[in-house]
Amino acid sequence: MKSVDTEVTTSSNHTFEMLDNIRIVMVNTTHPGNIGAAARAMKTMGLSDLVLVEPKKAIDDESIARSSGATDVLEAARIVPTLDDAIEDCGLVIGTSARSRSIPWPLLNPRQCAEQSVLTSKRQKVAIIFGREDRGLTNDELAKCNFHVHIPTNPEYSSLNIGAAIQVISYEMRMAIELSSKGDDQLWGVEWDRDLASSKELDGLIEHLEQVMIKSEFLDPENPRYIMTRMRRLFNRAMPDKVEVNVFRGILSAISKKFN
Ligand code: SAH
């Protein structure tokens, strides 16, 4: 016969199963110790999907020591060559940033980030991207995101250790589930009739749009300025579903034919 303890654990794990769909992505990490710290931060909050984009050094003894027993998360971590590989199957992508950037993006605080992530994770994969210890994420990497998230800090000293940043974000994910058991599910992509387009599908749409913009001589490829970044921001902000993206691509194909 199962003990009461086991039953309690089983039912609470069920409540938190959305966390399986929330992925932590670390880009070009320099210190293997920080990968271990990230694994520990994740495991304490019930997250387990860690993807490393081209870490500068492989997982080593320092990572294992800093993971403090979260070796299962380290062992299951996937290493991929590009950020696109890490996020291509995700319906929601959120980039972390310690400072503001030249083209502002829809910005969330950690609580709003968790609320949106947890709701989307009921149906689709979510990725939260963390940057390099020395330089954070590039503008191109941040442009691949639907939202940016900033952990409020002392403006004169705003940069957390990456493990600490992952801890804050993961904690908020867990808290959002605790609170959402009675909440309403009104946000995008949850009570929706179609799944949100994946990051790869949005990339396909934006490339298609760029081709048509060039073909029609609206966009000068020699002098693109920030037009494509602005278009990327528009589509990331709109969070189109799969059907909307297909319709848009159909329109682009129809326009394209007129130029042949
Ligand atoms: N000097 C870098 C900071 C890198 S800190 C810069 O200016 O961008 C390493 C990573 O930790 C960041 O890329 C981000 O993923 C996370 N991080 C640190 N502080 C943060 C904050 N206040 N809000 C959100 N993410 C933060």
Separation of alpha carbons 133 and 153, rounded Å:
17
How far out from the chain centre does Cα 198 lie? 11
The letter for the amino acid at 88 is E
Interval 59-91: pLDDT, tens? 999 999 999 999 999 999 999 999 999 999 999
DSSP 8-state symbol, 79 = E
Domain ranges within the chain, ordered by starting residue:
4-180, 199-257
Most confident of 81-85, 102-106, 216-220, 228-232: 81-85
DSSP 8-state symbol, 196 = B
pLDDT value at position 234?
A: 93
Residue bearing tokens 């880009």? 27
Output the six-digit token pair for 186: 């009104």
The rounded mean pLDDT for the chain is: 90
Distance from residue 103's CA to the centre of ligand 1 (Å):
17
Separation of alpha carbons 256 and 213, rounded Å:
9
Q: Whose CA is nearest to atom 21 of ligand 1?
A: 98
pLDDT tier, 131 (very low <50, low <70, confident <90, very high otherwise): very high
As a whole number, mean pLDDT of residues 209-233 equals 93
Interval 116-128: pLDDT, tens? 999 999 999 999 9
pLDDT value at position 168?
A: 98
pLDDT value at position 99?
A: 79
Interval 21-46: pLDDT, tens? 999 999 999 999 999 999 999 999 99
Instruction: Output 53 or 11, whichever has higher pLDDT.
Output: 53
The CB of 42 under 6 Å from ligand 1? The reply is: no
> Is pLDDT above 80 for 181?
no
pLDDT value at position 225?
A: 87
Distance from residue 13's CA to the centre of ligand 1 (Å):
30
Q: Beta partners for 95? A: 129, 148
> Is pLDDT above 90 for 228?
yes
pTM over 0.95: no
pLDDT tier, 9 (very low <50, low <70, confident <90, very high otherwise): very low
Strand 78-80 to strand 22-27: parallel, antiparallel, or no bridges (unpaired)?
unpaired
The CB of 113 under 6 Å from ligand 1? The reply is: no
Listing DSSP states for 104-140 in one string gives ---EE-HHHHHHHHHHHTTTSEEEEEE-BTTTB--HH
Q: Whose CA is nearest to atom 4 of ligand 1?
A: 136
The CB of 136 under 6 Å from ligand 1? The reply is: yes
Contact 21, 125 (CB under 8 A): yes
Poorest-confidence range of 98-112, 117-131, 185-199?
185-199
Superfamily of domain 4-180: SPOUT methyltransferase, trefoil knot domain (3.40.1280.10)
Indicate the class that CATH gives domain 199-257. Answer: mainly alpha
Distance from residue 36's CA to the centre of ligand 1 (Å):
17
Separation of alpha carbons 119 and 187, rounded Å:
7
Angle at which helices 199-215 and 242-258 pack, to 10 degrees? 20
The CB of 30 under 6 Å from ligand 1? The reply is: no
